Amino acid sequence: MKGLLSASSNSCEIVLIRSCRGIEGKYMDYLSTLCMKKIVPVGPLVTSNDKESNTNSSEMIINWLSQKPKYSTLYISFGSENYLFKDQIQEIAKGLELTNVNFIWVIRFPIEGDQIRILEESLPLGFLDRVKDRGMVVQKWAPQAVILANPSVGGFMSHCGWSSVTKSIYFGVPVVSLPLKLDQPVNCRLVMEAGVGVEVKRDENGGFNGEGVAEAVNKVILVEGGEGFRFKVRELSEKMKMEEEEAIFEVVEELSSVCMKRNHVGQL
C-alpha cells in the first residue's frame, strides 16, 4: 500500500486513456474526482485497415461478404486470448441455425493438433454442411476492421474486450454481448447503457443456450428491432470520430502544460 501511495503521489497530473467521452464521459469525470487527476481520452485509436488484410484468406472473406445483403451478416469473434468450451461452441452453433442469418465465425483452440478435426468434433454433427451456403468458419486470423467496416455486416458477437467494443462502435456495428471474464462484463454494461447492443441471456449458473443466442442475434440483425440499434450505434460512431479529431489537440495541450510546469519547477 505504501508503494502504491508513493507511486500515485509522484505520478503526473493527468491520465491518458483509450476511450472517448461519448461512451464514458460521466465515468471519466467521476474517476477524475476520485483520483484527483484529470482523465484525458486519447480517442479510440482504431485503424481502418488490418496490416494483413491483403492476404488470400482476407480476399476470400471480403469477396464472400460482397455477395451478402446489407446488414445481413453476423461477425463472431472472441479475441485472440479467449477460448470457448465445447458446450459453449455447440450452443452458439445451435443459435446460428435457429436464426438462419449469414455469419463469419472466428474459432480458435488453445491446443495443438489437427485443427480441422478438433473443429468438427467441437461443432454439432453436420453443422458445417447445413450452414455452408450462409456461414463461414475461420480458424486462424481474420481482418476484423475490414469485416466490421463492410456494409453487409449488421452485428458483432463479441466477448466485449475493450478493443472489440471500441472497433464495433467506431464502424457503426451493434454488439451481441457474450462477456467471459475480467473487465468484459463491465464493458458489456456500457454497451447496454449506450443502447448499441444486447446481451445473450444466461441462467443462474452463468450458462447460455442456443435459444438465448438466437434471440439476441435476431434483435440485432432483423429489420424490426435492429434498426434502432443501428441508429444508436451510428450516432455514437459519429460522436466518436468527431472526438477523435479533437482529442489529439487536447492531449498535446495537456502534455505541454505538464512539461511547462515541470520546467518551471526545475528552474526555481
The predicted model gives 55-60 an average pLDDT of 78
Nearest to 35 by CA among 3, 13, 63, 50: 13
The predicted model gives 47-70 an average pLDDT of 77
User: What is the structure's pLDDT at 5?
Assistant: 36
Residue 69 CB partners (closer than 8 Å, separation 6+): 152
* Residue 230 to residue 225: CA distance in whole angstroms: 9
* Residue 88 to residue 180: CA distance in whole angstroms: 11
Q: What is the CATH number of domain 63-238?
A: 3.40.50.2000
Q: How confident is the model at residue 79 (pLDDT cuts 50, 70, 90)?
A: confident
User: What is the structure's pLDDT at 150?
Assistant: 94
Q: What is the DSSP string of 118-182?
A: HHHHHSPTTHHHHTTTTEEEESS---HHHHHHSTTEEEEEE---HHHHHHHHHTT--EEE---ST
User: What is the structure's pLDDT at 215?
Assistant: 95
**DSSP 8-state secondary structure symbol assigned to residue 85:** -
Neighbouring C-beta atoms of residue 150, cutoff 10 Å: 21
User: What is the structure's pLDDT at 265?
Assistant: 53
Cβ pair 147, 75 in contact under 8 A: yes
Return residue ranges of the chain for CATH 3.40.50.2000: 63-238
User: What is the structure's pLDDT at 253?
Assistant: 75
Nearest to 153 by CA among 173, 167, 137: 173
pLDDT tens per residue, range 226-248? 788 999 999 999 988 888 777 77
**DSSP 8-state secondary structure symbol assigned to residue 54:** T
Beta strands in the chain, from DSSP E residues, in sequence order = 14-17, 38-41, 73-77, 102-106, 135-138, 153-158, 175-177, 197-199
pLDDT tens per residue, range 102-139? 999 999 888 777 778 889 889 999 999 999 999 999 98
How much is the pTM?
Answer: 0.84
The predicted model gives 14-25 an average pLDDT of 78
Sign of CA dihedral 39, 243, 79, 229: positive
